[in-house]
Amino acid sequence: MAGLVHIGLAGARGRMGRAVSEVLDRRSDVVTAARFDRTDHPDLSVCDVVIDFTEAAASVELARACAETGGPALVIGATGFTPEQDAEIERAAERIAVVKSGNFSLGVNMLIGLVAQAARRLPAAEWDIEIVEAHHRMKRDAPSGTALMLGEAAADGRGHDLDDVRGRLREGMGDERPVGEIGFSAVRAGGIVGEHQVIFAAQDEILTLAHSARDRALFARGAVMAALWVKGRSRGLYGMQNVLGFQQS
């Protein structure tokens, strides 16, 4: 049928892969052209876009394969990338369109904007920032990709790179908390879908901005939205802020 978007799904057997499959199967404007896992090698030429929910190393390999043939476009939802792996994705985006995001939720992307604004207006000398996230017991990377996105928004709001102000794991007798540090805490337990809190704490008041995910379907719907958006886009690296119109492409 004319006008249908042909979408491939990498990591189809995983939690998010199954959720994306259900969303795709309910839509009449897409065709699921391929479902595969990270060890498979499908014919990518049948896809307009591939949605990838595997893991960092597999995502890099897939991005290379897509870039070598000039397509398809990619939507990457995997997290836990090293700086070197991020650089590989950026190189692939010089040849194809890539949407890469640690979170495909509309609410989380609204939260990112609010965090940046709060950090811009609450001075570091008076307000500490702590990010607390919780996920299911099977999640391997910590902090989560979403927590890092929130940390980047907070750091950017204060005119810093996150690497320069990110706090490390606290254990034992450490030094006094540095002014301007952005701290992270991670919980891994049970079947928690995703909880994120950004705490701005002064001596006499606390502001908490938070998001709670109740169903993986919300992330799946966002990923499919990104796939429809990125089809036909010019090469480059995009995020959900672009897809939702919060940032210009």
Active site (catalytic) residues: 135, 139
Q: Which of 83, 94, 85 is nearest to 52 (CA)?
A: 85
- All residues at 6 or more sequence positions from 212 whose CB lies less than 8 Å from its CB, including other chains: 194, 195, 196
Kindly give the residue spans of alpha helices, DSSP state H, lying in the chain: 15-26, 56-68, 83-92, 106-121, 145-157, 162-165, 217-230, 240-243
Which residue has 């606390």 as its token pair?
Answer: 206
Do the strands 30-36 and 5-10 form a parallel or antiparallel pair, or are they unpaired? Answer: parallel
DSSP 99: E
Length, in residues, of the chain: 249
Cα-Cα-Cα-Cα dihedral sign, residues 35, 212, 141, 139: negative
Rounded Cα distance, 225 and 222, in Å: 5
Which DSSP category does 180 fall into? T
Closest CA to 100 of 116, 87, 114: 87
Q: Tell me which residue of 202, 162, 169, 164 sits closest to 184, measured CA to CA.
A: 169
Q: Are strands 194-201 and 128-135 parallel, antiparallel or unpaired?
A: antiparallel
